[in-house]
Amino acid sequence: MYKHILFPTDGSERCANALQHAIGLAKAVGAKITALHVVPEYYPPVYEDSGPFDPEIEARFEREAINRANRFLAQVTDAAEAAGVPAGSVHVTSYHTADTIIKVAEEQGCDLVLMSSRGRSGLASLLLGSETKKVLAHARTPVLVCK
């Protein structure tokens, strides 16, 4: 059925809960897991009194973001491998998380995206939107959402 599951993670507790479902499903059907973390792009503050651009601040932001991504991805790959499920990982720098998830799923040949949902509802969901909703609306790959 499924051979390659993409698992986007932001390192949160809800992702850790969804990971157990991803590992269980992968193990049951003999699939591998690719963990994905979308690293936010750096945007320097632009204020009238913000002063000159400091490239060291950008470099520090990027180093910390990559270190965080590596930690989040290792959580997934370590848990999967401990359960006997083959796993790999990728991180991509982008401001457009949902588009990146969809693109990586296609590029990696994934036949399922298994992701968590933040669980916003009401006005918060309407105003803030949802990366999960965007993936559900636009992905050609099947999507399984865990709450």
CATH of the domain at 62: 3.40.50.620
Q: Kindly state the tokens that stand for 146.
A: 């865990």
**Rounded mean pLDDT of 124-144?**
81
Residue pLDDT, tens place only, 117-126: 875 555 555 5
- Confidence grade of residue 98 (pLDDT, cut at 50, 70, 90): very high
What is the pTM (predicted TM-score) of this model?
0.87
CA distances from 50 to 41, 43, 44, 47, 125 (A): 19, 13, 9, 5, 32
Q: Decide if pLDDT at 80 tops 70.
A: yes
Please count the structural domains in the chain: 1
**Strand runs labelled E in 1-147:** 4-8, 32-39, 87-93, 112-116, 143-146
Please, what is the average pLDDT of the chain? 89
**Residue 21: domain span:** 4-146
Give the pLDDT confidence of 29-48 residue by residue, as tens digits: 999 999 999 998 887 666 55
Specify the DSSP class assigned to residue 59: H
